[in-house]
Amino acid sequence: MPHTQPESPPQKSHKPRKPWYRRPGRVIGLALLASGLVVAVVAYVSPWPAALAIRAMFESNAAATVKEMLPHVPASGINETLDVAYATAGAGTTGADTTFDAFSPSGSSGALPTVVWIHGGAWISGSKGNVDPYARILADRGYTTIALSYTVAPEAVYPVALNQLNDALGYIVAHAAELRVDPSRIVIAGDSAGAQYTAQLATLVTSPAYATLVGITPSLTPTQLRAVVLNCGIYDVSGIPNAPGIGGWGFRTALWAYLGERNWSHTPGGEEMSTLDDVTAAFPETWISGGNADPLTTTQSVPFAARLSTLGVPVTTVFYPEDHVPALPHEYQFHLDLADAQAALESTVTFLDRVTAAP
pLDDT tens per residue across span 222-237? 999 999 999 999 999 9
145's CB contacts (< 8 A; 6+ apart) are: 102, 103, 104, 114, 115, 116, 117, 135, 136, 138, 139
Q: What's the pLDDT score for residue 109?
A: 86
Task: Assess whether pLDDT exceeds 90 at residue 36.
Answer: no
Strands 144-148 and 99-105: antiparallel
285's CB contacts (< 8 A; 6+ apart) are: 226, 227, 228, 313, 314, 315, 316, 355
- pLDDT band with cut points at 50, 70 and 90 for residue 24: low
- Whole-prediction pTM: 0.88
The SS3 call for residue 295 is helix
- pLDDT band with cut points at 50, 70 and 90 for residue 271: very high
Q: What's the pLDDT score for residue 22?
A: 58
Are 149 and 85 in contact by the 8 Å Cβ rule? The answer is no
Compute the distance between CA of residue 130 and CA of residue 269 in angstroms, rounded to an integer.
26
Question: Please, where are the H alpha helices in 154-223?
Answer: 160-174, 176-179, 193-206, 208-214
**CA 158, 125, 194 angle in degrees (round to 5)?**
65
Domains of the chain by range and CATH?
A: 56-355 (3.40.50.1820)
Smallest CA-to-CA distance from 103 within 122, 76, 65 is with 76
β-sheet with 99-105: strand ranges across: 78-85, 99-105, 144-148, 112-118, 181-191, 225-231, 285-289, 315-318
The SS3 call for residue 286 is strand
Beta-carbon count within 10 A of 111 CB: 16
Residue 132 host element (H or E): helix 132-139
Task: Assess whether pLDDT exceeds 80 at residue 359.
Answer: no
Report which of residues 349 and 33 the model is more confident about: 349
Smallest CA-to-CA distance from 308 within 289, 283, 287 is with 283
Smallest CA-to-CA distance from 72 within 318, 353, 342 is with 342
Smallest CA-to-CA distance from 44 within 309, 244, 263 is with 263
- pLDDT band with cut points at 50, 70 and 90 for residue 29: low
Interval 70-118: pLDDT, tens? 999 999 999 999 999 999 765 566 778 999 999 999 988 899 999 999 9
CA distances 157 to 87, 91, 190, 254, Å, are 17, 11, 19, 11
Task: Assess whether pLDDT exceeds 60 at residue 14.
Answer: no
Smallest CA-to-CA distance from 114 within 99, 102, 126, 106 is with 102
Q: What is the DSSP string of 79-100?
A: EEEEEEE-S---TT--TTTTEE
